[in-house]
Homo-oligomer: A and B are copies of this chain.
Amino acid sequence: MNPNENAPGAGNPPDTSLDQLRAQIDSIDQQLVELLARRRAVVEQVVQFKQQHALATHHPAREENLISTRRAQAAAAGLDPDYVEDLFRTVLRHSRVGQLETLGRRGARPGARVLIVGGRGSMGRFFGRWFRQSDYEVRVLDREDWPQVQSLAAGIDLCLLAVPIDVTPDVAVQIGPHLPAGCVLADITSLKRQPLAAMLRAHAGPVVGLHPLFGPATSTMDKQIVVVNPGRHPDQCQWVLDQLVLWGNVLVETSAEDHDEIMGIVQSLRHFATFAFGQFLCSRGVPILRTLELSSPIYRLELAMVGRLFAQDPSLYAEIIFATPERRALLKEFIESMNSLVAMVEQGDKADFVRRFHKVAGWFGPFSEQAMRESTFLVDKLVHRF
C-alpha cells in the first residue's frame, strides 16, 4: 500500500507529503490504465464492425488526424507535443496489431486452393499457417511428395514456391506442366531475375514474383514490406496481392532486375560487412561485455546489429551473400576499396580522411540529417529501455 517503500518511516512530515503526492500519481496512473482498457474495448467493437462490413483495417488519414488533435491538446495543456505523439503512436500501433489479429485472418478469396512447394521448410510453414487461418485450402508439396504431384496440383488457384534460391528455377520447371491454366505461380526467393524468368517459361498462366522482407520468426505482418515483381496477367494475380495487404503487408513494386541490383547492396554487401566486423572482433578476442559498459548508446546499437547477425542461420546468409557472380564481384570490390585506405591509416593522414569524409557527406546529402534524426530517436528508446 505504501508507494514509497524505500523512504524513511512515516511520521516524518516531508516524506508524508511526498507520499501524498506519489499516491496522487499512482491514482492518475491507475486511471490511465483503466482508460487504455476502455479504449481497447471500443476498438474491439470497431473490429467487429469492420469485419461485418468488410472495411479496411488501416485508416492512415484517421490516424494522422487523431495524432494532430492530441498534439494540439497537449500543446494547449503545456505538455510537449512530441511526448504525447510518441505515446499515441504506441497506442495506435498496438491497436493496429490487435485489429490485424482478427481482421488479418480475413481471406481475399477464402476457399481457394493453395499449393506450397517446400511447404515443410520454415518459410513454407509460415505462409501455410497464414493461408490456413484465412480459410484457404492449403496443400503441401515437399521433396518426398513429387510422386503425388498430379493430385496435389489438381484444381489449385495458387502455387507458391518456398524452396531455397538455388533450386527455385528448377522447381518452377518441374511444377509448371502440372498447373491449371488459371493458377497463379509465385515464388518468395530473395533473388528475382532467374526465378521469375523460369516461372514465365514454365507456366503460360498468371505469374508474379514476391520477396517478403522478413523471416519466419515474424509475429505480425503489420507494415512488413513485400517486394512485388509483375510477371504475367497482373489482374489475375491481384487477389494474391490483396491477401498480402489484408494481412497488413506493404507492397513495393519493382522490376526483377532493379530488385536484384539493389538487394546486392542491401543484403549481400551489408551482411558481408557486418560478418567481417564480427569475425574481426572474435579474432581479436575483444571483451564484448566490457566494451558495452563503456559505450555510448550508439555503439551499443551498432554492436547489437553485429551480434544479431550471428544469432541467425548461417546457411541462409551464405545463400544471400554469395548468390550471384555480380554479388561476389561487388564484395571483392568492397575489400579492395578498404585496401585503398591502408596508406591513410598507416600515416594517420587526418587531412586525407577529412577530404574523403566531405566528399561522402556531400553525396549522402540530406539523408545524413534524416539518419541522424532517426538514429537519435532510437538511441533515446534504447537508453530508457535497457
Stretch in A141-149, A177-185, A361-369 touching the partner: A361-369
Does B33 lie within 8 Å of A77, measured CB to CB? yes
Does B311 lie within 8 Å of A263, measured CB to CB? no
* Size bin of chain A's contact surface: 35 or more
Does A3 lie within 8 Å of B36, measured CB to CB? no
Measured in the bound complex, the distance between the Cα atoms of B7 and A53 in whole Å is 13
Within 8 Å CB of A372, what residues of B? Answer: 307-308, 311-312
- Copies of this chain present in the complex amount to 2
User: What is the chain B residue whose CB lies nearest that of A300?
Assistant: B374
In the complex, what's the smallest C-beta–C-beta distance from A365 to chain B, in angstroms? 9
Measured in the bound complex, the distance between the Cα atoms of B37 and A31 in whole Å is 13
Does B335 lie within 8 Å of A338, measured CB to CB? yes
Within 8 Å CB of A310, what residues of B? Answer: 357, 360-361, 364, 368
Does B382 lie within 8 Å of A374, measured CB to CB? yes
Does B252 lie within 8 Å of A79, measured CB to CB? no
Asked whether A318 and B350 contact (CB < 8 A) given A5-B65, A26-B69, the answer is: yes
CB 8 Å contact bits of A26-66 with B (1 = contact, 0 = none): 10111111111111101101100110010100010110011
In the complex, what's the smallest C-beta–C-beta distance from A314 to chain B, in angstroms? 4
Measured in the bound complex, the distance between the Cα atoms of B342 and A62 in whole Å is 53
Stretch in A17-25, A103-111, A113-121 touching the partner: A17-25
Measured in the bound complex, the distance between the Cα atoms of B378 and A227 in whole Å is 23
Measured in the bound complex, the distance between the Cα atoms of B73 and A288 in whole Å is 37
Does B345 lie within 8 Å of A33, measured CB to CB? no
Does B311 lie within 8 Å of A332, measured CB to CB? no
Measured in the bound complex, the distance between the Cα atoms of B363 and A284 in whole Å is 11
In the complex, what's the smallest C-beta–C-beta distance from A308 to chain B, in angstroms? 5
Within 8 Å CB of A333, what residues of B? Answer: 280, 284
Asked whether A73 and B370 contact (CB < 8 A) given A65-B3, A301-B305, A335-B339, the answer is: no
Does A374 lie within 8 Å of B345, measured CB to CB? no
Stretch in A197-205, A230-238, A268-276 touching the partner: A268-276
Asked whether A62 and B296 contact (CB < 8 A) given A334-B280, A370-B307, the answer is: no
Within 8 Å CB of A66, what residues of B? Answer: 3, 25-26, 29
Within 8 Å CB of A3, what residues of B? Answer: 62, 65-66
Does B49 lie within 8 Å of A21, measured CB to CB? yes
Return the contact of A354 from the options B34, B286, B314 (Cβ within 8 A). Answer: B314
Asked whether A305 and B305 contact (CB < 8 A) given A90-B86, A266-B294, A270-B299, the answer is: yes
7 A-B pairs closest in CB distance: A307-B371, A311-B368, A314-B357, A318-B350, A322-B348, A37-B77, A93-B384
* Known pairs A262-B294, A377-B385, A381-B381 / 20 extra A-B pairs, C-beta < 8 Å: A21-B49, A24-B42, A25-B46, A32-B35, A32-B87, A34-B77, A86-B90, A225-B294, A258-B290, A259-B294, A267-B299, A273-B277, A274-B302, A276-B338, A289-B367, A307-B367, A310-B368, A314-B358, A315-B354, A322-B348
